[in-house]
A and B are shown apart, each in its own frame.
Chain A
Amino acid sequence: MPTAYAFYLTTILVYGAVDSMACLALNYEFGFAGVSNFGFIIFQAAGAYAAAILSMPRAATANGGFQQYVLGWNLPWPLPWIGAAIVGGVVALPFVFLVGKRLRGDFAAVGLLVSAVLLNELVKDYVPFLNGAAGVSIVPAPFQSKWDPQGLGYQFAYGGVAIVLTIAVYYLLRRVTESPYGRSLRAMRDNDIVADSLGKNLRKQRAGVLVLGGALAALSGAILVGFISLWAPGAWGYAETIVLFAAIIVGGAGNHKGAILGAILVPLAFEEITRFIPPVANPTLIPALQWVAIGLLIILFLWFRPNGILPERRRLLSTGPALNTVEVVPDDGDSDALIKLGNVDQLNFRELLHLDNTVNDNRVILSTTGLSKSFNGVTVVSDVSIEIHQGKLTGMIGPNGAGKSTTLAMLAGTLRGSSGTIFYDGEDITSMPSFKRAQAGLVRTFQLASEFKKLTVLENLVSAIPKQSGDSFTGSLRGKRFWGSEDKANIERAEEVLEGFGLSQYADTYAGGLSGGQRRLVEIMRALLAEPKVLLLDEPMAGVHPNLAHKIGDQLTKMCESGMTILMVEHELSIMDAFCDPVIVLAEGMVLATGTMAELRKRPEVVEAYLVG
């Protein structure tokens, strides 16, 4: 093979590996966890710089001291690369403040983009740090004292190592995302508020994702800088991140192979194609057209094929015989009336929901004192003090605008109260964040559709199960051998509940495709699997056919008999009648009365509140 081609091939190998690794990392952040890291290039740059200044000799003495930079520890390979990965992870930490809070996704992304621009400017301007706009050059290649970095054999070996590392990253990320932890990440991506209400620690998860993504991005930068020996601000403008996003959109977000495909098609192919185009008079024409092409790729793919060439794969969890998975369910209003709940009466709630140790002692398990909430000067909830007794199915009713949903949100932690205290199981939880409350057994459901759309029904259910050993980053790393059998048991438990509620045939269907009533059942089942001690239901029967509503009510009663406590906000007074005792009446943000429906009906002020003015 002519040497020129051979050298060219080594370049392709290295760039292909580096781009693939970067895309895998970004896809992990964006495609799997829903973190739109518009500042991704920062981390690759940090890694490149770190690897450079860790492997280069002291600035003052190197090559006549024509460069200025910090460190210069002259470390041998592989230390600079390891150091680079660590730096990438550390650099990610300050950015958690942008993505950890409940900031709108597009705002956070813009903040990251701006950070990339800012850091690029700062590095360019402050020369003593990383040699300013000129960048660092004459970066030593690994083992260059032993082997000639310009030699063909060396370069092939370099390419080989790069590819091996990229493959390792592929398997590492796959191990992480195809675990219970990965499931939680995808749940967070699909609906972060709901994931939070099921006990997922969003800030910790997002921080973990940024740190790992940052470390891998940095590694890719280290590999690149070792090969090309120089790194300057011009190489990492904010637009480079856009190229990588385009790659993921084209290849397929949420699919590791898609990330690699995208990396080969977009950054790699684009660079390489320009070598074969004859030079034109205007030297900036080709690069400009490249950018135009990237822009068009983004727009066209997001319009015609937003899932990319290799879309995210469906995870088939069911352990039973292969079912004909039903795709989209025709949404027929009457079908809800016909939903049979299957063998639900055979479900042993005490066992399934781990209520075995609860004693039905009627103690006060959840209470508030003087709870209030005001928005912009308008008081919505005023001085509400209620007591919920363990083992009871308590109802909460009231006219529109009475403050029921707001009160429930404050109990769950979704909203912070303006004043007052909340006690749960003997502890003051007023300032406890919502995900911690869920982990402690105080779980809520939502009024509007809240399923994880791109997770299957079974995944929706299993994701709620608490204390999964595979549901942490370290747990996921330990692999299937570690969390596999526990996960299988969890899946079987979820399948049992699914069968009980008569929806087994939808086990592997994407939750977003079910009918309204079916989605409602999925939400209830999911909330149950979160092993709540106290379940807060926000209008669970809204839009549900009365027949189905009563069947659900029967099951709720059974759950309370098995030791659970339920507080249900509802409008359907027939449900209250049949199942709830006691019932709390709210009106105009205050507690009006408490008692059974029969008692309440006799109280004139309740009748007034509901019928009069």
Chain B
Amino acid sequence: MTLERFDWLGFLASKIPDDALVMSTYIGAVSFEWAHHTEEHPRSAHLGQMGDVVGLALGLALALPHRKVVCLDGDGSVLMELGQLVAMGQHCPSNLVVFVVDNGVYESIGWGANGRRTTATSHTSNLASIAASCGVPHTADVTTQDQLSEETDLAFSRDVCSFINVRTAPGPSHVEPRRTDGIEDKYRFVRYVEQLEDLWITGVPPQDIGLMKG
């Protein structure tokens, strides 16, 4: 069994705590639909790409241990750098929850003569099992809406480092592509975090500060 991506991302968006931060992949249907459901809220950093989304989220979670950090990634991306799961299990920050849109295919490359190109999760690999064997304290391989509801409640009601793999039906984006690039997304997210945490992330040049002195 699988869930429909657009629907379950909408469900997750409705459940996410207001004060959480999100590290999302920035290319493809997951990003487009998440941005749609969250109305481009600046708490979401659409900065991750193939192989680095979990690593970015892990760093963010370690930097802000009091803040819930939600990661949205795809199966192809996680498979590209399984060392991220090793690091996640090694450090397992209790404020980090990873949701994987596991549709079993490389959706973004489109269709070939023989249909979609499948990923290893369609055949031999199970990401939740891999994460568990890396030491991630809570993992789940979700195939139904009831399971997703249960796992979402757990994820947002307690502090346990979690890896939730959601078996998802392949299919094109239900919404238009986003129009921003990574640079604009970075600044939007950084300004939001600066305000939220009352800190400066990008610096002010010392010479400019000197201009303020009498």
Is chain B a partner of chain A in the same complex? no
**Which residues on B are within 8 Å of A, measured CB to CB?**
none
